[in-house]
Amino acid sequence: MGSLSKSDKKKVLDFAAWGFNISTSVGIIMINKALMATHGFSFATTLTGLHFVTTTMMTIVFRWLGLSQPSHLPLPDLIKFVIFSNLSIVGMNVSLMWNSVGFYQIAKLCMIPASCLLEVVFDHVHYSRDTKLSIMVVLIGVAVCTITDVSVNAKGLAAAVIAVWSTALQQYYVHFLQRKYSLNSFNLLGHTAPAQAGSLLVVGPFVDLLLTGKRVDHFGFTSLAMLFLALSCFIAIGVNLSQFICIGRFSAVSFQVLGHMKTVLVLSLGFLFFGKEGLNFQVVFGMILAVAGMIWYGNASAKPGNKERRSVLPVRSEKLALDEKDGGEK
């Protein structure tokens, strides 16, 4: 990329980061669907703990190869991050069990306004009119193509609220910690993945027993189930790494908005590989509207002044501060 300008290089790297995240995220959804629906491994929280085990192994290998440099993350910040992350994982699983699919989708859509509010309150960010309107179009489009039945109950609402805010805080914190402590994605994963792996493998089996009524240690593994489990854990390395890369390069809000491209892709691939049941004009219209909103958001985000940050977070690296000033999508 030697002949490319700095802005062109950034666009190429941004596109590569999004492509990495979308491809691994869609891939793991399809693999997990086969693992859970076809092979009966319904222990989602324990599975996430195993995902972080393989991610931890990746960070150890990278450190051994010298691709990841020693870094520091204070224990209180690590504990807060792990609490937010694990509450997000457990909250989303419990919300899906206690709520209708329609209300679960509404809760997922609420993560964008929650992430926006966090940036407004803590970073004093001001969004342009086009950015706000494009986010609304994305939300409406995804709602139209995913929300069907909507029923609410008290415990389901509580689980959804916890899931939404813990997820928004976790994703905000990824960006916050990378800026504050000059951590790259490998460094941050090296600190957080082992803690999440250990904690989720401890609480995961109990959460899954509550959600499914089944014990993970009683699951009858077949060779195919083991193969899909191994594939899921392998792809999870890319999912976890690409999430940190994308949020570090952009923001939690952009990660949520453009991340709905995964929703559209999963729907499309589902219709392609698992039959066209449920495919109708409403779904197609919603997907087109969502994609149009994402394109609008991308263009609006590229314009100067689309999102102004009026406070400066002190960082330990002068180079990082310069990168953020020159950098992009903020």
pLDDT tens for the chain, 330 residues long, are: 556 677 778 778 888 888 898 889 888 888 988 898 888 898 999 999 999 999 999 999 988 888 778 889 999 999 999 999 999 998 888 887 787 777 777 888 888 889 988 988 888 888 888 888 988 988 888 888 777 666 778 888 898 899 999 999 999 999 899 989 999 888 999 999 999 999 999 999 999 998 889 999 999 989 999 999 999 999 999 999 998 888 888 777 888 887 777 777 777 776 676 666 666 777 788 888 888 888 888 788 766 655 555 444 444 443 333 343 344 443
CA–CA distance, 176 with 183 (Å, rounded to integer): 10
Residue 125, phi-psi category: left (phi > 0), alpha (psi -120 to 50), beta (remainder): beta
Contact 138, 260 (CB under 8 A): yes
List helix spans (H) across the chain: 6-33, 44-64, 75-98, 101-109, 111-123, 129-146, 154-180, 185-212, 223-249, 252-274, 281-302, 318-326
Closest CA to 201 of 319, 49, 37, 8: 49
